[in-house]
């Protein structure tokens, strides 16, 4: 198997990640979300040429670290880690302007 495994894992991370964590990125500028994925995909595919399927380690480790940080941060700040509620409090913590 060639690079298909890396592409499938990246696609899975993208679909699941954006579906589950969309409520947490409502006010994040599109360019920032796109840049994050360009860097992650570029790193993974660039590493694939050098180290083969070991290139999957960085996105999986970064994803696990991000999920752990997310859960801890949300619990510490009394935010539901799946729904981003209470929404007003979450906006305040992110420094976003709350719109009624």
**What is the reported pLDDT for 9?**
93
What pLDDT, on a 0 to 100 scale, did the predictor assign at position 100? 72
Distance CA 34, CA 40 (A): 10
Q: Distance between CA 84 and CA 56 in Å, rounded?
A: 29
Spatial CA neighbour of 93 closest among 82, 29, 33, 75: 75
Separation of alpha carbons 10 and 15, rounded Å: 9
**pLDDT average per 10 residues of sequence, the chain (100 residues):** 90 92 92 94 93 94 94 96 93 90
């Amino acid at each position: 198997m060639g690079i298909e495994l890396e592409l499938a894992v990246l696609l899975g991370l993208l679909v699941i990640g954006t579906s589950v964590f969309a409520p947490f990125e409502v006010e994040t500028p599109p360019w920032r979300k796109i840049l994050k994925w360009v860097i992650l995909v570029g790193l993974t595919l660039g590493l694939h040429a050098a180290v083969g399927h070991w290139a999957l380690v960085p996105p999986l480790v970064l994803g696990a670290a991000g999920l752990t940080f997310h859960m801890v941060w949300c619990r510490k700040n009394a935010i539901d880690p799946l729904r981003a509620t209470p929404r007003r409090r979450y906006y305040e913590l992110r420094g976003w302007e709350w719109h009624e």
